[in-house]
Structure 1
Amino acid sequence: MTSIPTDPPAQDSGFALLKGLGKAEAYNHPTESIRLIETHISWVLLTGQYAYKIKKPVNFGFLDFSALAQREFFCHEELRLNQRLAASWYLDVVPITGSPAAPKMAGTGAAIEYAVKMRQFPCAQTLRESAECGQLSTDEIDQIASLVADFHHTVARTDDQSPYGSSQDIRYWFTENFIGIRPFLKSSGQVQQLAALQVWGDAEWHSKAALMQQRQQQGWVRECHGDLHLGNMTLVDGKVIPFDCIEFNPLLSWIDVMSEVAFLMNDLLRFGYEVYAYRFLNRYLQATGDYPGLALLRYYWVYRALVRAKIALLRASQNPEADGQLCAEYGLFADLAERFTQPGKAGLIIMHGFSGSGKSTLASQVAENIGALQIRSDIERKRLLGYTAQADTGSDLGTGIYSQEASRQTYRHLAVLAKGVLEAGFSVIVDAAFLNSEQREGFLQLAEDCQTPFIIIAVQAADETLCQRIRQRQGDASEATVAVLRQQQQAAEPLGEAEQRHTIAVDTERGDALERVLTQLGKICP
């Protein structure tokens, strides 16, 4: 937050306009103390009831606001795009009339500038500031995951005729970061680090270009938010509100949905919220089923870190007083990009236990803590057979989605998804009952084929607890009943001696179940 300039250079009409807009008489409504927020591409004036966003007359190549007509057009684009997520907050595009010395917001006569008019958020704090203070909560992460998944489901998407999202476009914007960053670097270490990132990016693109093109043709490139990080979200009455979509270049907003996911995860990882980053990713993927997109996630992680690094340097060039802080921010993002190029060793974990044993709850907690993907059979079974996760299919024992053939299809599908996750370089937890030895043998073979560690987490609880948990379930994808539990108990094939060597057994009635599993995993996969 900065103050309105009181002594702008006489030749600088932009600052002269800001000085004029710092006066209450420039507005047709009551104002409070007028405050200014400045970014590298815009000025935002906070008046109390309303906020007004003005685009700077700049041209950075990836955006061009140099002409008034362009700024007017992109103000209208900003309104259109942001009303998808924050309709009650983005209100109008208004002309600024009069003169720079005596402007009138939403006045009459010829426009000298344009502004996007918004309701001013009651609290200026963004989720970035909450993250910096250690105040983010799981409720906010769960809201974001649901909100982003729903948003990506409803927005416009590409087809094989679309001009957006080609693999060549993706490569161009990845490479453009190096062009924007290199002139600002001051040390040989920074130059070498950037060169190594470019070599990695070129190699990764060549190996993934066909997949990028395929996803564009399949409609995974969509008209997204484009700038979805914590600084562009706020909390109003307990509800997460994303704002400030990219409007200035459709090539940067028509992107693969996984690029959008990567941007937010990048921010969470940057602030040390590793568990929350994987909580968001797991919940998003469970909602969308886009596990194949994981193959591109690491590329987009690096790309997004480089974008933030470049912006830090651009801001430093505009604000010499903050040069030291912004250059440190560059280093943080450059190091994050380097970290993303170095994947850890992936492992395959399967759950084992009856309905009500706490498999899914424990699998979710473990996945978040070790940076793994939890694939839930209850969700994937329904998705595979054309149902939503919360649908009540009315299937009886051994019929409908729980028939033997449906179960065989489900486990085959789970294996395909798990293999994709492993090949993308991530550990995977397959969250299913695995009461049949043949089912378990198939996943042991998958682990051997992928040359990855194989672990069974065997979950148990007292029969009374199992029944109680099943009866109390609400809003869950599982349709298991106590009758299903009894059938499972009769048909279950116990773990064999060879399987026991891969097994971590845990009682979920104990309060330390998660800690015990994490400790044992650390011993098996240090």
Structure 2
Amino acid sequence: MDELVDALLRPDAWPFPVTSVEHLETHISHLFLVEGFVYKVKKPVDLGFLDFSTLEKRRFYCDEELRLNSRMAPGLYLARVQIVRDERGFHVEGEGEAVEYAVKMRRFDQSCLFDRLPLGDGHIDALAERVAAFHAALPPAPEEAEWGRPEKVWFPMEQNFRQIRELGLFPELAGRLERLQERALQAFEALRPWLWRRRAQGWIRECHGDMHLGNIAWVEGEVMVFDGIEFNADLRWIDTANDIAFLLMDLERRGMERLAWRFLNRYLERTGDYEGVPLLAFYKGYRAMVRAKVAAIRLIQEGPGSEGTKQEFADYLEYAEQCLEPAGRPGLCITFGLSGSGKSHFCRELREQLGLIHLRSDLERKRLFGLAPEADSRSAVEGGIYTPEATEQTYGRLEELAGMLLKAGYSVVVDATFLEAAR
């Protein structure tokens, strides 16, 4: 692979005039930034959770990468191309027998990445809308599939701990890792019935799988979510709550808690998937350990002197510990006032500053009657949705959701008029 990398840094390896080649490396791939394109070459590695060890496997996963990423980054992923070799050297997009394959992508300014942009509310709102629509359009996993079964959920979590230990990098942290794994297992067992319920309800879907800020970009005024997991179906056929947990973890770890709460509430308003919330802390802890494992693998590749990567590992470990700590005592806020008096505006500010799940009576009323959040509630349902019976059902649903969220340790603000004392 080193010979190929050196060759692709030369302009004569490319099928068009090249002024410069920029090379980036991850623990599983080499990326070459050439003029208006990016070419990704998968490393011939077998890390347990992925296997790129043969040329045929690398070809297959190039095709999978194109298929999966066209869903949330249309126009960004262009083709699977071959690399050939003759007496003059390696040639990208050449004729003849392939010695390697690459995924060809359209290049964009790296300053557009969400881990580099000064993120604002508009970015987060657009992302929440995009992800909610993406998840809603995905079909659930087939009933006969193993995905979503509790043991299938636990396996990659246990694997993270095992593979970190096998690397042998942090003997001084062995006891800490063992205690963290025990807490993760306890949380898993407590959530086992909930995991079965989520599967039965159809929330196991072919998700993105790797939705952190470094895989999201603002390109020509639109959100692009790219570099989804192609190499392991088990890691993308997951609960949609698991998918957004990675993003929430990344925002929180970078000190952007307010934006994390903004994304979560916006996403929940669009999907109505409040029953995924009790799993979020568990999944955020898992996602932190994924990143800790990646940091450990990079440390092996970079050498023991990489202090920044060591600190990154330690930071993710600490975050995972915080996620798996018992939840504190949650709080409940309710509003009081006539419609149009500014309650929802106030709640939107409050939920981001204090970290609250925002339950809106207008949205839940529409949802009960099969209407989309943006639908006109004055029509489409015969007799309207503001009858006394409909209002009773709406408050009943708000009470049900608030109780579930409070039990899971989340503070809640219920946004409704509450004009009657009995409410």
TM bracket, shorter-chain basis: over 0.9
Q: How well do the aligned residues superpose, as a CA RMSD in angstroms?
A: 1.7
Q: Which amino acid aligns with 1:66?
A: S
Out of 340, 353, 363, the position equivalent to 1:369 is 353
State whether residues 20 and 100 of structure 1, in contact with CA within 8 Å, keep that contact through their aligned partners in structure 2.
Answer: no
Q: 2: distance between equivalents of 1:321 and 1:179?
A: 20
Paired residue secondary structure (2:71): helix
State whether residues 378 and 385 of structure 2, in contact with CA within 8 Å, keep that contact through their aligned partners in structure 1.
Answer: no
Q: Which amino acid aligns with 2:50?
A: L
Q: 2: distance between equivalents of 1:230 and 1:100?
A: 43
Out of 239, 242, 258, the position equivalent to 1:259 is 242
Partner of 1:241: 224
Partner of 2:256: 273
Is 1:197 paired with 2:184?
Answer: no
Partner of 1:166: 149
Partner of 1:153: 136
Partner of 1:414: 398
Q: Which amino acid aligns with 1:110?
A: E
Q: 1: distance between equivalents of 2:221 and 2:176?
A: 41
Q: Which amino acid aligns with 1:53?
A: K
Paired residue secondary structure (1:361): helix
Partner of 2:200: 217
Q: 2: distance between equivalents of 1:206 and 1:243?
A: 33
Q: Which amino acid aligns with 2:307?
A: G
User: What does residue range 135-146 of structure 1 map to in structure 2 within 5 Å?
Assistant: 135-146=118-129
Deviations 1:54-94 (A, max 9, x none): 00000000000000000000000000000011121100000
Out of 5, 9, 15, the position equivalent to 1:28 is 15
Is 1:70 paired with 2:54?
Answer: no
Cα offset, 1:242, TM superposition = 1.0
Partner of 1:95: 82
Partner of 2:367: 383
Deviations 1:171-203 (A, max 9, x none): 111111111112434353x22321221111111
Out of 322, 338, 350, the position equivalent to 2:321 is 338
Q: 2: distance between equivalents of 1:217 and 1:417?
A: 19
Cα offset, 1:253, TM superposition = 0.7
Q: Which amino acid aligns with 1:163?
A: E
Q: Structure 1 100/421 Cα, relative in aligned 2: closer, same or farther at 3 Å? A: farther
Q: 2: distance between equivalents of 1:94 and 1:100?
A: 20
Cα offset, 1:15, TM superposition = 1.1
User: What does residue range 37-186 of structure 1 map to in structure 2 within 5 Å?
Assistant: 37-99=24-86, 102-130=89-117, 135-183=118-166, 184-186=168-170
State whether residues 31 and 41 of structure 2, in contact with CA within 8 Å, keep that contact through their aligned partners in structure 1.
Answer: yes
Partner of 1:478: none
Q: 2: distance between equivalents of 1:185 and 1:49?
A: 39
Is 1:230 paired with 2:217?
Answer: no
Cα offset, 1:129, TM superposition = 2.1
State whether residues 83 and 91 of structure 2, in contact with CA within 8 Å, keep that contact through their aligned partners in structure 1.
Answer: yes
Deviations 1:254-276 (A, max 9, x none): 11000111100000001000111
Q: Structure 1 100/54 Cα, relative in aligned 2: closer, same or farther at 3 Å? A: farther
Partner of 1:352: 336
User: What does residue range 373-452 of structure 1 map to in structure 2 within 5 Å?
Assistant: 373-395=357-379, 399-439=383-423
Q: Structure 1 410/26 Cα, relative in aligned 2: closer, same or farther at 3 Å? A: same
Q: Which amino acid aligns with 1:356?
A: G
Q: 1: distance between equivalents of 2:314 and 2:112?
A: 25
Aligned residues: 420
Q: Which amino acid aligns with 1:414?
A: L
State whether residues 228 and 260 of structure 1, in contact with CA within 8 Å, keep that contact through their aligned partners in structure 2.
Answer: yes
Q: Structure 1 99/323 Cα, relative in aligned 2: closer, same or farther at 3 Å? A: farther
Q: Structure 1: any 5+ residue segments left out of the alignment?
A: 1-13, 440-526
Q: 1: distance between equivalents of 2:353 and 2:18?
A: 48
Q: Structure 1 331/126 Cα, relative in aligned 2: closer, same or farther at 3 Å? A: same
Paired residue secondary structure (1:87): coil
Paired residue secondary structure (2:70): helix
Cα offset, 1:31, TM superposition = 2.3
Which structure ranks higher in relative contact order (CA pairs < 8 Å, sequence separation ≥ 6)?
Answer: 2
Q: 1: distance between equivalents of 2:84 and 2:361?
A: 60
Q: Structure 2: any 5+ residue segments left out of the alignment?
A: none
Paired residue secondary structure (1:172): helix
Q: 2: distance between equivalents of 1:85 and 1:211?
A: 29
Q: 1: distance between equivalents of 2:294 and 2:176?
A: 18
TM-score with structure 2 length normalisation?
0.96
Q: Which amino acid aligns with 2:105?
A: M
Deviations 1:188-223 (A, max 9, x none): 3x2232122111111111111122122122210111
Q: 2: distance between equivalents of 1:31 and 1:19?
A: 15
Q: Structure 1 106/156 Cα, relative in aligned 2: closer, same or farther at 3 Å? A: farther
Q: 2: distance between equivalents of 1:217 and 1:324?
A: 45
Q: 1: distance between equivalents of 2:145 and 2:308?
A: 41
Runs (4+) of structure 1 exceeding 3 A deviation are 122-125
Cα offset, 1:20, TM superposition = 1.2
Q: 1: distance between equivalents of 2:372 and 2:115?
A: 33
State whether residues 149 and 195 of structure 2, in contact with CA within 8 Å, keep that contact through their aligned partners in structure 1.
Answer: yes
Q: Which amino acid aligns with 1:336?
A: Y
| Higher radius of gyration, 1 or 2 | 1
Q: 2: distance between equivalents of 1:292 and 1:353?
A: 28
State whether residues 352 and 435 of structure 1, in contact with CA within 8 Å, keep that contact through their aligned partners in structure 2.
Answer: yes
Q: Which amino acid aligns with 1:261?
A: I
Q: 2: distance between equivalents of 1:204 and 1:101?
A: 58
Q: Point out the more displaced range, 161-170 or 92-101.
A: 92-101
